[in-house]
Structures are given as C-alpha cells and as structure tokens.
C-alpha cells in the first residue's frame, strides 16, 4: 500500500488538472447506508422500486415516507475525513473539479465550490407543475407529501432510475473530464453509467487514474493505481504530502 500511495502522490505532485469522482462509499464512512447495500431496504421495498418516476406517480406518499426516512439518517451525518481531504485538494490544485454521484449534500457542507452533483441533491425539491426548485431541509417533513406554494406536489430534485441526467450537469462533467490529466475515483461501484465510463475515457486520452475503494471494482482494471481501504484514511494521508 505504501508504494502505491507513493506513486499516487508522485503523480499528483505533477498534476495540472485534477478531477475527483465520488460515490456512496465515501458517505458510508459517515454512517449513511449505501444505496445498493442491505440497508437500502425499507419496509419490504427495494430502493430501486421507490426511486422511479413511476413509483412517485403511483404512490407519492410512500415514496416521500421513504425519502423522509433517508433524510432523517443523512441529516445526522457529518462530512468525514475523506470529504475534508477532497476540500483540501480543491485548495491545493488551482484546476480542480469534483463530480459526485451522492445526493446527500455532505461535500457541499465542507464549503467546496467546484462541484457537480450529477444525480441531484436530496435536500432540494422540484415543483411537479413548473419544475421550479428550492431547498427543503425540514426533518422530519411537516407534511407528506410536501407541496409547493402553488399547491402542486413537490418531488425530490434527484435523478431517479429511468430518468436522464440533466443536460447542464452532464455537459459540465464532460467538459472537465476532457481537460483533466489525473482522475481520482473514490468509493464508487463503477457500475452506474454514464459515470462508470469516465475512467476509461480519461485513460483513452492519456490521463492517469487513481482508484480509492474498499475492494476491487470494474475500475480496477483501468486504474494506474488502486488504493484499497477507507477513504477517510487514504485521502488525508495523500493530502498531507501535497504542497499547501
């Protein structure tokens, strides 16, 4: 592991443009259940059966009860050492960007600025009539389902199964990916597209890929360096060795 960290640090010291991608694994270290783990079950429902536009259209009350439960868990969580280390990367690299697949808002709470939440944000809601968005941070929710000032039902402003990633977020992601020379992928399963294709895209254009995860993933076959363990241990160890 120490040799691999040395290689990662050596590369980062020569990096001009750093792109970081994070997935559920980094937030799991803050106590947030992973979307695909056993904790994804709730009252005999699978997350994949609730996080769809069709489930919401059929039964918005049940979907919102599930999201209210999730918000209760996430609301008690704090950014961990991995989140804070990524914020330090932003301060270290003038050309830095973060793409997160997480909707929990923990990266934002570190004060990070150069970020795309490619799957949305759990604390933001969208009116089902005019698509206007706003923040709703009540835990628990005062009413289920919550409603807009216009009277229509609000929905979580997240990307559900069967929905497309918003064009603006996707275009911003492709733009920074085309510019980066080093990609660091942290705590992602490597199976959710289109983000799962990003490491190979970076490699194809001559970039360097660093993977940080608890176990091997499909990204391991593409990565130049794979660091296995907790991101809350590995990322601070890397950040400490970079110029400040």
pLDDT of residue 40: 45
Q: How many CA atoms lie within 13 A of 78 on its CB side?
A: 3
CATH number of 43-74+122-158: 3.30.1600.10
Query: What is 1-32+77-119+164-244's CATH number, 3.40.50.9100, 3.40.50.300, 3.40.50.1220, 3.40.630.40?
Result: 3.40.50.1220
Q: Name the nearest CA neighbour of 143 among 153, 156, 133.
A: 153
pLDDT of residue 36: 53
**Other C-beta atoms lying within 10 Å of the C-beta of residue 140:** 11
Name the active-site residue from 83, 107, 119, 244: 119
Q: What is the mean pLDDT of each run of 10 residues along the chain (244 residues)?
A: 90 98 95 62 63 94 93 95 98 97 97 97 97 96 97 97 93 94 94 88 96 95 97 97 88
* Cross-strand pairs, 155: 126
Distances (CA, A) of 208 to 8, 44, 191, 211, 227: 9, 42, 20, 10, 14
Kindly list the domain boundaries of the chain, sorted by start residue.
1-32+77-119+164-244, 43-74+122-158
pLDDT of residue 193: 84
CATH fold match for the domains 1-32+77-119+164-244 and 43-74+122-158: no
d(CA 206, CA 179): 11
d(CA 85, CA 5): 15
Unique residue bearing structure tokens 């991995």: 82
- Cβ 160 vs Cβ 52: under 8 Å: yes
Q: Is 119 a catalytic residue?
A: yes
d(CA 227, CA 212): 5
pLDDT of residue 41: 41
User: How confident is the model over 138-153, as pLDDT tens digits?
Assistant: 999 999 999 999 999 9
d(CA 79, CA 232): 10
């Amino acid at each position: 592991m120490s040799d691999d960290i040395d290689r990662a640090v050596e590369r980062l010291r020569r990096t001009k443009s750093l792109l970081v991608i994070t997935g559920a694994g980094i937030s799991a270290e803050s106590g947030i259940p992973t979307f695909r783990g056993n904790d994804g079950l709730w009252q005999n429902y699978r997350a994949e059966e609730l996080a769809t536009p069709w489930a919401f259209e059929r039964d918005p009350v049940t979907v919102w009860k599930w999201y209210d439960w999730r918000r209760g868990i996430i609301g008690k969580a704090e950014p961990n050492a991995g989140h804070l280390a990524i914020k330090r990367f932003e301060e270290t690299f003038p050309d830095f960007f973060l793409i997160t697949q997480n909707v929990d808002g923990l990266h934002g709470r570190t004060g990070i600025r150069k970020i795309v939440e490619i799957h949305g944000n759990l604390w933001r809601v969208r009116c089902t009539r005019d698509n206007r968005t706003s923040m709703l941070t009540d835990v628990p929710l005062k009413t289920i389902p919550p409603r807009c000032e216009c009277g229509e039902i609000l929905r979580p402003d997240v990307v559900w199964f069967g929905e497309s990633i918003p064009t603006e977020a996707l275009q911003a992601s492709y733009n920074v990916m085309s510019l980066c020379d080093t990609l660091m992928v942290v705590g992602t399963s490597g199976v959710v597209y289109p983000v799962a294709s990003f490491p190979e895209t970076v490699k194809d254009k001559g970039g360097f890929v660093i993977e940080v995860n608890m176990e091997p993933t499909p990204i391991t076959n593409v990565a130049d360096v794979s660091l296995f363990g907790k991101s809350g241990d590995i990322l601070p160890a890397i950040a400490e060795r970079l110029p400040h």
